[in-house]
């Protein structure tokens, strides 16, 4: 018998009406002779609402209490869905991440899955029941505390669970038809991608295509779990993320990320070891530093700029304030008015001139590039936030529509 893990995101489980549609997808899958394990997100934007509630009562809520609070969102969905399935005559029960045996590192708000024993999930499967697992959460073995996996973390729960249970595939149901060549809400001419490699999907997810959490793609690649991104509200076949694809485009997608801030440390002494002194404390504190630029040194002093996620703004500012004093730098500041646009494509490895063409297109559109970074299959440019839409449109037109 085939085992399929199905994950339903926030908009899919937004209210009782959409939960009924979700239940029907689960029943259809089960009726075809499959065993089904379901992973759910919190309803609609309830995770954001819980964060806002916390911020109304505290400027610096304790990370432990934040995880206790946020993990409740997924628990509401899982129990409601189980009740509804039971009501329809399908035996079903729900489990928290901890009850499902999902153990994680201890870092609250950004924990990583270390192991999934899945005992109670397997028991449920053996009894022919539909097991519903709360996404986005686990427990740390040493501290015994509940943890959450970071925004979008239910995707990681689903793919990791599929790997741990030896599922045939992991289906990620969402509010769009699948993975597109650009965010379909931003680019009207974005096209559905039928199949994409783990490597490209990982770059797309890491550079802003939030349809899948990057870590879920990493699990898929590591344990060879096919991931299918599908629509909840239609019958489309979606996008399959796998090892190899039939036709490799030069550029598969254009992504954007406007949820990062650019930080600059001014007038740092230009000496060996200085970069280590700056980025060491940032990484020790779990700051996800992305693009880095070090300016040409003037009078033995240099400016170092980098980008980091918006949600880590206050942590980074505190660290930079301390570093600025310790290193006798001339100060630090931050610029939230930036956005990153990226081209992703495994075919770029064998094709020269893509980067220069990208820079020319941005130049022709009078868009200034503040930072550049590349990987073998990605080119990213940081631009002014006001230029983001024009940048995405012009790059999509030249590289995808042309
Ligand atoms: P869920 O709640 O189902 O997890 P998310 O909001 O996390 O859904 O992800 C789905 C959203 O991702 C879509 O509504 C879409 O706007 C956005 N998105 C960004 N880039 C892409 C892309 N390249 N392809 C598809 N969706 C994308
Ligand atoms: N509810 C969490 C979030 O909004 C996790 C998820 O939906 O994947 O980020
Ligand atoms: Mg998501």
Asked if residue 346 and residue 259 are part of one domain, the reply reads: yes
* Closest residue CA from atom 5 of ligand 1: 211
Q: Long-range contacts for 205-210 (Cβ within 8 Å, ≥24 apart)?
A: 207/255, 207/257, 207/340, 207/342, 207/344, 207/378, 207/380, 208/183, 208/255, 208/256, 208/257, 208/258, 208/259, 208/340, 208/342, 209/179, 209/183, 209/253, 209/255, 210/152
Percentage of the residues of the chain whose pLDDT score is greater than 90: 90
Q: What domain range is 61 assigned to? A: 3-244
Residues having CB within 6 Å of any atom of ligand 1? 9-12, 41, 152, 174-176, 179-180, 182-185, 209-211, 253
pTM: 0.95
Cα–Cα nearest to 115, from 134, 132, 102, 129: 102
* Closest residue CA from atom 6 of ligand 2: 152
Distances (CA, A) of 104 to 70, 205, 338: 16, 22, 33
Q: In the structure, what pLDDT confidence band is assigned to residue 40 with cuts at 50, 70 and 90?
A: very high
Ligand 1 pocket check: which of 40, 136, 211 to mutate, most ligand atoms within 8 Å of Cβ?
Answer: 211
The yes-or-no verdict on residue 9 having pLDDT over 70 is yes
The yes-or-no verdict on residue 316 having pLDDT over 70 is yes
Asked if residue 302 and residue 219 are part of one domain, the reply reads: no
Q: Is-contact 157 102, C-beta < 8 A?
A: yes
- For residue 177, how far is the Cα from the chain centroid? 18
Q: Is-contact 70 152, C-beta < 8 A?
A: no
Q: Is-contact 109 312, C-beta < 8 A?
A: no
Asked if residue 168 and residue 81 are part of one domain, the reply reads: yes
Q: Among positive and negative, which fits the CA dihedral 44, 48, 52, 55?
A: positive
Ligand 2 pocket check: which of 22, 38, 42, 219 to mutate, most ligand atoms within 8 Å of Cβ?
Answer: 42
- At 143-169, the pLDDT tens digits run 999 999 999 999 999 999 999 999 999
- The reported pLDDT for the residue numbered 398 is 97
Residue 7's contacts (CB-CB under 8 Å, 6 or more residues apart) are 38, 39, 40, 41, 135, 154, 155, 157, 158, 170, 171, 172, 173
CA distance 135 to 153: 7
Is ligand 2 within 6 A of the CB of residue 8? no
- The reported pLDDT for the residue numbered 1 is 66
- At 254-265, the pLDDT tens digits run 999 999 999 999
Ligand 2 nearest-atom number relative to CA 74 = 1
- Locate the DSSP E strands across 154-259: 169-174, 195-197, 227-231, 239-242, 253-257
Asked if residue 184 and residue 270 are part of one domain, the reply reads: no
Tokens of 105: 């590192």
What's the CATH code of the domain at 334?
Answer: 3.30.2130.10
Which-ligand-closest: CA of 42? 2
Percentage of the residues of the chain whose pLDDT score is greater than 70: 100
Asked if residue 343 and residue 311 are part of one domain, the reply reads: yes
CA distance 170 to 163: 9
Q: Mean pLDDT, the chain, as a whole number?
A: 96
CA distance 259 to 67: 22
Cα–Cα nearest to 295, from 262, 259, 320, 266: 266
What's the CATH code of the domain at 114?
Answer: 3.40.1160.10
Ligand 2 pocket check: which of 150, 153, 214 to mutate, most ligand atoms within 8 Å of Cβ?
Answer: 153
Looking up tokens 């686990």, which residue turns up? Answer: 138
User: Taking residues 303-327, what's their average pLDDT?
Assistant: 93
Q: Which of 225, 244, 263 is the last residue of a domain?
A: 244
CA distance 279 to 293: 12
Three-state DSSP state, 340: strand
CA distance 346 to 249: 7
Residue 139's contacts (CB-CB under 8 Å, 6 or more residues apart) are 97, 98, 102, 103, 104, 145, 146, 147
CA distance 162 to 116: 10
Asked if residue 151 and residue 11 are part of one domain, the reply reads: yes
Q: Which of 222, 244, 266 is the last residue of a domain?
A: 244
Is ligand 2 within 6 A of the CB of residue 151? yes
- At 108-148, the pLDDT tens digits run 999 999 999 999 999 999 999 999 999 999 999 999 999 99
β-sheet bridge partners, residue 81? none
Which-ligand-closest: CA of 11? 1
Asked if residue 236 and residue 261 are part of one domain, the reply reads: no
* Closest residue CA from atom 4 of ligand 1: 9
Q: What is the DSSP string of 139-181?
A: E-TTT--EEE--TTTHHHHHHHHHHHHT-SEEEEEESSSS-BS
Q: Is-contact 171 5, C-beta < 8 A?
A: yes
Is ligand 2 within 6 A of the CB of residue 10? yes
Is ligand 2 within 6 A of the CB of residue 135? yes
**Measured in angstroms, how far is the CA atom of residue 155 from the centroid of ligand 3?**
7
Distances (CA, A) of 185 to 194, 212, 276: 18, 15, 40
Provide the pairing of β-strand 3-8 with 169-174: parallel
User: Taking residues 182-201, what's their average pLDDT?
Assistant: 97
**Measured in angstroms, how far is the CA atom of residue 120 from the centroid of ligand 1?**
31
The number of distinct structural domains making up the chain is 2
Asked if residue 231 and residue 124 are part of one domain, the reply reads: yes
Ligand 1 nearest-atom number relative to CA 232 = 3
CA distance 337 to 383: 9
Q: Which of 244, 260, 276 is the last residue of a domain?
A: 244
Ligand 1 pocket check: which of 21, 48, 174 to mutate, most ligand atoms within 8 Å of Cβ?
Answer: 174
């Amino acid at each position: 018998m085939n085992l399929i893990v199905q994950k339903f995101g926030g908009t899919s489980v937004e209210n009782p009406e959409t939960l009924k549609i979700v239940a029907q997808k689960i029943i259809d899958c089960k009726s075809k002779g499959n065993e089904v394990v379901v992973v759910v997100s919190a309803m609609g934007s309830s995770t954001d609402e819980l964060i806002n509630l916390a911020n109304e009562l505290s400027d610096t809520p304790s990370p432990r209490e934040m995880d206790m609070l946020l993990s409740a969102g997924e628990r509401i969905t899982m129990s409601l869905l189980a009740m509804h399935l039971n009501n329809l005559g399908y035996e079903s029960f729900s489990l928290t991440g901890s009850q499902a045996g999902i153990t994680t590192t201890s870092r609250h708000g950004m924990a990583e899955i270390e192991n999934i024993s899945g005992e109670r999930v397997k028991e449920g499967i053996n009894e022919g029941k539909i097991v519903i697992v709360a996404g986005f959460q686990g427990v740390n073995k040493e501290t015994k505390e509940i943890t959450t996996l970071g925004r979008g973390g239910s995707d990681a729960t689903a793919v990791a669970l599929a790997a741990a249970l030896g599922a045939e595939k992991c289906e990620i149901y969402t509010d769009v038809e699948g993975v597109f060549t650009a965010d379909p809400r931003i680019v009207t001419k974005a096209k559905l991608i039928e199949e994409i490699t783990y490597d490209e999907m990982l770059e797309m997810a890491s550079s802003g295509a939030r349809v899948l959490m990057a870590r879920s793609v990493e699990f898929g690649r590591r344990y060879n779990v096919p991931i299918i991104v599908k629509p909840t509200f239609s019958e489309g076949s979606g996008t399959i993320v796998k090892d190899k694809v039939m036709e490799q485009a030069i550029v598969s997608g254009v992504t954007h990320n406007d949820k990062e801030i650019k930080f600059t440390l001014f007038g740092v002494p230009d000496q060996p070891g200085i970069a280590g002194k700056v980025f060491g404390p940032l990484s020790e504190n779990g700051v996800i530093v992305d693009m880095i630029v070090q300016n040409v040194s003037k009078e033995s002093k240099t400016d170092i700029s980098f980008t980091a996620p918006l949600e880590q703004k206050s942590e980074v500012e505190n660290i930079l304030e301390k570093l600025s004093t310790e290193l006798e730098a001339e100060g630090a500041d931050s610029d939230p008015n930036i956005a990153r646009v990226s081209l992703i494509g495994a075919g770029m490895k064998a094709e020269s001139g893509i980067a220069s063409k990208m820079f020319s297109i941005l130049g022709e559109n009078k868009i200034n590039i503040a930072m550049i970074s590349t990987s073998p299959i990605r080119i990213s440019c940081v631009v002014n936030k006001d230029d983001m839409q024009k940048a995405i449109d012009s790059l999509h037109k030249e590289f995808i529509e042309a």
